[in-house]
Amino acid sequence: MASSQVLVGFHAVSARLRHAPASVKDIYVEAARRDRRMLALLEQAQAAGRPVHPVAADRLEGLARGQRHQGVVALAESLALAMDVDEVLDDAQAPAFLLVLDGVTDPHNLGACLRTADGAGVQAVIAPRDRAVGLNATVARVACGAADTVPYLTVTNLARTLRALKERGVWVVGTDDEAERTIHQIDATRPIAWVMGAEGEGMRRLTRETCDELARIPMRGSIESLNVSVASAVCLYETVRQRG
Protein backbone atom coordinates (compact mmCIF):
# COMPACT_ATOMS: atom_id res chain seq x y z
CA MET A 1 0.00 0.00 0.00
CA ALA A 2 1.29 3.50 -0.86
CA SER A 3 2.46 5.63 2.04
CA SER A 4 0.65 8.82 3.03
CA GLN A 5 1.80 12.29 2.07
CA VAL A 6 0.75 15.73 3.28
CA LEU A 7 0.26 18.32 0.52
CA VAL A 8 0.37 21.91 1.73
CA GLY A 9 -0.79 25.02 -0.14
CA PHE A 10 -2.76 25.75 -3.30
CA HIS A 11 -0.05 24.86 -5.82
CA ALA A 12 0.70 21.43 -4.39
CA VAL A 13 -2.94 20.42 -3.90
CA SER A 14 -4.15 21.80 -7.24
CA ALA A 15 -1.31 20.11 -9.13
CA ARG A 16 -2.06 16.74 -7.55
CA LEU A 17 -5.74 17.12 -8.42
CA ARG A 18 -4.70 17.67 -12.04
CA HIS A 19 -2.11 14.91 -12.33
CA ALA A 20 -3.40 12.17 -10.02
CA PRO A 21 -6.77 13.05 -8.47
CA ALA A 22 -7.44 9.48 -7.33
CA SER A 23 -4.43 9.66 -4.99
CA VAL A 24 -5.99 12.51 -2.99
CA LYS A 25 -7.78 11.09 0.05
CA ASP A 26 -9.08 14.19 1.86
CA ILE A 27 -8.81 17.94 1.41
CA TYR A 28 -9.04 20.27 4.40
CA VAL A 29 -9.78 23.95 3.78
CA GLU A 30 -10.11 26.96 6.04
CA ALA A 31 -13.84 27.30 6.64
CA ALA A 32 -13.76 31.11 6.79
CA ARG A 33 -11.97 31.54 3.46
CA ARG A 34 -14.15 31.95 0.38
CA ASP A 35 -12.12 34.09 -2.01
CA ARG A 36 -11.75 33.44 -5.73
CA ARG A 37 -8.69 31.21 -5.33
CA MET A 38 -10.39 29.02 -2.76
CA LEU A 39 -13.59 28.76 -4.79
CA ALA A 40 -11.56 27.65 -7.83
CA LEU A 41 -9.90 24.92 -5.76
CA LEU A 42 -13.24 23.75 -4.36
CA GLU A 43 -14.62 23.55 -7.90
CA GLN A 44 -11.58 21.53 -8.99
CA ALA A 45 -11.97 19.16 -6.04
CA GLN A 46 -15.67 18.70 -6.75
CA ALA A 47 -14.98 17.93 -10.41
CA ALA A 48 -12.42 15.33 -9.32
CA GLY A 49 -14.84 13.81 -6.81
CA ARG A 50 -12.51 14.38 -3.84
CA PRO A 51 -13.93 14.98 -0.33
CA VAL A 52 -13.46 18.47 1.10
CA HIS A 53 -13.65 19.25 4.82
CA PRO A 54 -14.03 22.88 6.00
CA VAL A 55 -12.14 23.23 9.30
CA ALA A 56 -10.86 25.91 11.64
CA ALA A 57 -7.49 27.53 11.02
CA ASP A 58 -5.89 25.84 14.05
CA ARG A 59 -6.77 22.42 12.64
CA LEU A 60 -4.96 23.32 9.43
CA GLU A 61 -1.94 24.46 11.44
CA GLY A 62 -1.78 21.02 13.03
CA LEU A 63 -2.11 19.21 9.71
CA ALA A 64 0.50 21.41 8.02
CA ARG A 65 3.00 20.87 10.86
CA GLY A 66 4.32 24.39 10.77
CA GLN A 67 4.31 24.80 6.96
CA ARG A 68 2.63 27.79 5.34
CA HIS A 69 -0.66 26.23 4.26
CA GLN A 70 -2.53 29.20 2.67
CA GLY A 71 -5.78 27.73 3.93
CA VAL A 72 -5.59 24.31 2.28
CA VAL A 73 -4.02 20.96 3.21
CA ALA A 74 -4.58 17.57 1.59
CA LEU A 75 -3.80 14.02 2.64
CA ALA A 76 -2.79 11.87 -0.31
CA GLU A 77 -1.03 8.68 -1.29
CA SER A 78 2.63 9.08 -2.21
CA LEU A 79 3.27 8.59 -5.90
CA ALA A 80 6.03 6.28 -7.15
CA LEU A 81 7.12 7.88 -10.43
CA ALA A 82 10.00 5.55 -11.27
CA MET A 83 11.85 2.66 -9.68
CA ASP A 84 15.38 3.25 -10.91
CA VAL A 85 17.58 5.10 -13.38
CA ASP A 86 17.51 2.31 -15.96
CA GLU A 87 13.73 2.50 -16.19
CA VAL A 88 13.91 6.25 -16.75
CA LEU A 89 16.43 5.85 -19.56
CA ASP A 90 14.54 2.95 -21.13
CA ASP A 91 11.30 4.96 -21.17
CA ALA A 92 12.87 8.19 -22.46
CA GLN A 93 11.57 9.43 -25.80
CA ALA A 94 14.53 11.79 -26.29
CA PRO A 95 18.28 11.76 -25.54
CA ALA A 96 18.93 11.43 -21.81
CA PHE A 97 18.46 14.68 -19.90
CA LEU A 98 19.14 14.33 -16.17
CA LEU A 99 19.89 16.55 -13.18
CA VAL A 100 22.12 15.19 -10.41
CA LEU A 101 22.18 16.97 -7.04
CA ASP A 102 25.16 16.00 -4.89
CA GLY A 103 24.06 16.70 -1.34
CA VAL A 104 21.35 19.37 -1.64
CA THR A 105 19.75 19.44 1.81
CA ASP A 106 17.64 22.62 1.67
CA PRO A 107 14.02 21.72 0.82
CA HIS A 108 13.44 25.12 -0.78
CA ASN A 109 16.36 24.53 -3.15
CA LEU A 110 15.17 21.03 -3.99
CA GLY A 111 11.65 22.26 -4.64
CA ALA A 112 12.94 24.98 -6.94
CA CYS A 113 15.19 22.47 -8.75
CA LEU A 114 12.26 20.12 -9.33
CA ARG A 115 10.10 22.94 -10.64
CA THR A 116 12.80 24.01 -13.09
CA ALA A 117 13.49 20.38 -14.06
CA ASP A 118 9.83 19.93 -14.95
CA GLY A 119 9.82 23.11 -17.01
CA ALA A 120 12.95 22.12 -18.92
CA GLY A 121 11.78 18.57 -19.62
CA VAL A 122 14.30 16.76 -17.43
CA GLN A 123 13.58 13.03 -17.25
CA ALA A 124 14.70 12.55 -13.63
CA VAL A 125 16.49 14.21 -10.73
CA ILE A 126 19.04 12.01 -8.96
CA ALA A 127 20.48 12.47 -5.46
CA PRO A 128 22.47 10.41 -2.92
CA ARG A 129 20.22 8.81 -0.32
CA ASP A 130 22.35 9.80 2.68
CA ARG A 131 23.10 13.39 1.71
CA ALA A 132 19.84 14.82 0.46
CA VAL A 133 16.51 16.17 1.60
CA GLY A 134 13.45 13.98 1.04
CA LEU A 135 10.20 14.92 -0.64
CA ASN A 136 8.62 16.66 2.35
CA ALA A 137 5.79 19.18 2.47
CA THR A 138 8.07 22.16 1.93
CA VAL A 139 9.57 20.59 -1.19
CA ALA A 140 6.10 19.83 -2.56
CA ARG A 141 4.90 23.39 -1.92
CA VAL A 142 7.92 25.08 -3.50
CA ALA A 143 7.91 22.64 -6.44
CA CYS A 144 4.33 23.70 -7.29
CA GLY A 145 3.37 20.19 -8.39
CA ALA A 146 6.67 19.18 -10.00
CA ALA A 147 7.34 16.73 -7.15
CA ASP A 148 4.51 14.69 -8.67
CA THR A 149 5.72 14.90 -12.28
CA VAL A 150 9.52 14.61 -12.17
CA PRO A 151 10.97 11.35 -10.78
CA TYR A 152 13.23 12.07 -7.79
CA LEU A 153 15.55 9.10 -7.46
CA THR A 154 17.75 8.63 -4.41
CA VAL A 155 20.66 6.20 -4.80
CA THR A 156 22.93 4.53 -2.26
CA ASN A 157 26.16 5.23 -4.17
CA LEU A 158 26.19 8.31 -6.38
CA ALA A 159 29.60 7.69 -7.97
CA ARG A 160 28.54 4.18 -8.96
CA THR A 161 25.32 5.55 -10.44
CA LEU A 162 27.29 8.11 -12.46
CA ARG A 163 29.55 5.37 -13.79
CA ALA A 164 26.47 3.37 -14.78
CA LEU A 165 25.12 6.40 -16.64
CA LYS A 166 28.41 6.75 -18.50
CA GLU A 167 28.26 3.08 -19.51
CA ARG A 168 24.89 3.84 -21.09
CA GLY A 169 26.33 6.68 -23.13
CA VAL A 170 25.32 9.60 -20.90
CA TRP A 171 27.88 12.44 -20.79
CA VAL A 172 28.27 13.48 -17.13
CA VAL A 173 29.09 17.17 -16.70
CA GLY A 174 29.91 18.61 -13.30
CA THR A 175 29.63 22.32 -12.53
CA ASP A 176 32.69 23.97 -11.03
CA ASP A 177 33.49 27.67 -10.67
CA GLU A 178 37.15 26.99 -11.51
CA ALA A 179 36.57 24.97 -14.70
CA GLU A 180 38.24 26.22 -17.88
CA ARG A 181 35.29 25.64 -20.20
CA THR A 182 31.89 27.31 -19.81
CA ILE A 183 28.53 25.58 -20.02
CA HIS A 184 28.03 27.20 -23.46
CA GLN A 185 30.98 25.17 -24.78
CA ILE A 186 29.41 21.87 -23.72
CA ASP A 187 27.62 19.81 -26.37
CA ALA A 188 24.30 19.39 -24.59
CA THR A 189 22.57 17.87 -27.60
CA ARG A 190 24.08 14.52 -26.65
CA PRO A 191 22.64 12.44 -23.75
CA ILE A 192 23.66 14.49 -20.71
CA ALA A 193 23.53 14.57 -16.91
CA TRP A 194 24.31 17.89 -15.22
CA VAL A 195 25.83 17.50 -11.74
CA MET A 196 25.34 20.24 -9.16
CA GLY A 197 27.16 20.39 -5.84
CA ALA A 198 25.74 21.03 -2.40
CA GLU A 199 25.02 24.51 -1.05
CA GLY A 200 28.35 26.08 -0.16
CA GLU A 201 30.45 22.91 -0.41
CA GLY A 202 30.12 22.01 -4.06
CA MET A 203 30.57 18.49 -5.38
CA ARG A 204 32.34 15.87 -3.30
CA ARG A 205 35.77 14.78 -4.51
CA LEU A 206 34.69 11.36 -5.78
CA THR A 207 31.71 12.87 -7.59
CA ARG A 208 33.97 15.41 -9.26
CA GLU A 209 36.47 12.76 -10.31
CA THR A 210 33.71 10.60 -11.81
CA CYS A 211 32.44 13.35 -14.12
CA ASP A 212 33.42 13.23 -17.79
CA GLU A 213 33.92 16.97 -17.86
CA LEU A 214 33.67 20.10 -15.70
CA ALA A 215 32.14 23.40 -16.78
CA ARG A 216 31.47 26.78 -15.21
CA ILE A 217 28.70 29.32 -15.49
CA PRO A 218 30.13 32.64 -16.73
CA MET A 219 29.91 35.24 -13.96
CA ARG A 220 30.20 38.91 -14.97
CA GLY A 221 29.73 40.61 -11.61
CA SER A 222 31.36 40.49 -8.20
CA ILE A 223 29.48 37.43 -6.93
CA GLU A 224 31.46 34.23 -7.50
CA SER A 225 28.64 31.67 -7.64
CA LEU A 226 24.89 31.20 -7.93
CA ASN A 227 22.39 29.47 -5.68
CA VAL A 228 22.17 25.77 -6.64
CA SER A 229 18.60 26.05 -7.88
CA VAL A 230 19.46 29.07 -10.05
CA ALA A 231 22.63 27.38 -11.34
CA SER A 232 20.56 24.30 -12.19
CA ALA A 233 18.11 26.43 -14.15
CA VAL A 234 20.91 28.08 -16.15
CA CYS A 235 22.45 24.72 -17.10
CA LEU A 236 19.16 23.00 -17.87
CA TYR A 237 17.94 25.78 -20.11
CA GLU A 238 21.29 25.86 -21.93
CA THR A 239 20.42 22.27 -22.87
CA VAL A 240 16.93 23.34 -23.93
CA ARG A 241 18.44 26.12 -26.06
CA GLN A 242 20.89 23.80 -27.79
CA ARG A 243 18.26 21.15 -28.44
CA GLY A 244 15.66 23.67 -29.50
Q: Where are the alpha helices (DSSP H) in 92-200?
A: 107-120, 137-143, 158-167
Q: What pTM was estimated for this model as a whole?
A: 0.76
Does residue 137 register a pLDDT over 80? no
pLDDT at residue 125 tops 60: yes
Q: 93 Cβ partners below 8 Å, 6+ apart? A: none
The pLDDT of residue 128 is above 50: yes
4-77 to CATH, choices 3.40.50.170, 3.40.50.150, 3.30.1330.30, 3.40.50.2000: 3.30.1330.30
3-class SS of residue 10: helix
pLDDT for position 98: 98
Q: What is the pLDDT of residue 231?
A: 95
Query: Over pLDDT 90: what percentage of the chain?
Result: 62
Q: Which helix (H) or strand (E) element contains residue 171?
A: strand 171-175
Asked whether residue 31 carries a pLDDT value surpassing 60, the answer given is yes
How far is residue 208's CA from residue 204's CA, in Å, rounded to a whole number? 6
- Number of other residues whose CB lies within 10 A of the CB of residue 38: 17
Hey, do 4-77 and 85-243 end up sharing a CATH topology, with the first three levels equal? no
Distance CA 36, CA 34 (A): 7
Burial 200-234 (b: 16+ CB within 10 A, else e): eebbbeebbebbeebbbbeeeeeeebeebbebbbe
> Can you say which residues are annotated as belonging to the binding site?
197, 217, 226
Grade residue 96 by pLDDT with cuts at 50, 70 and 90.
Answer: very high
Annotated binding site for S-adenosyl-L-methionine: 197, 217, 226
Q: What is the pLDDT of residue 3?
A: 65
- CA-only gyration radius of the chain, Å: 19
Q: Is the dihedral of CA 151, 152, 153, 157 positive or negative?
A: positive
Among 18-22, 92-96, 111-115, 186-190, name the one with the lowest average pLDDT. 18-22
- State mean pLDDT over 122-126: 95
pLDDT of residue 213: 96
Domain ranges of the chain: 4-77, 85-243
Per-residue pLDDT band at 45 (split at 50, 70, 90): very high
Question: What number does CATH give the domain 85-243?
Answer: 3.40.1280.10
pLDDT grade for 80, boundaries at 50, 70 and 90 = low
**93-97, 200-204, 225-229 — most confident range:** 93-97
Residue-wise pLDDT for 143-188, tens only, equals 877 777 888 998 999 999 999 999 999 999 999 988 999 999 999 9
Q: What is the pLDDT of residue 65?
A: 82
Given a contact cutoff of 8 angstroms between Cβ atoms, the answer to whether 235 and 172 are in contact is no
Q: Can you name the residues that pair with 79 across neighbouring β-strands?
A: none
pLDDT at position 82, please?
Answer: 45
CA distances from 14 to 47, 58, 143, 148, 231 (A): 12, 22, 12, 11, 28
pLDDT of res. 66:
78
Give kind and range of the element (H or E) at residue 126.
strand 124-128
| 222 has a pLDDT exceeding 80 | no
Say what the pLDDT of residue 92 is.
84
Mean pLDDT, rounded, of the chain:
90
Tell me, letter by letter, the H, E, C secondary structure of 37-105: HHHHHHHHHHHHCCCEEEECHHHHHHHHCCCCCCCEEEEEECCCCCCCHHHHHHHCCCCCEEEEEECCC
Q: pLDDT value at position 1? A: 39
Q: Residue 5: is its pLDDT beyond 60?
A: yes
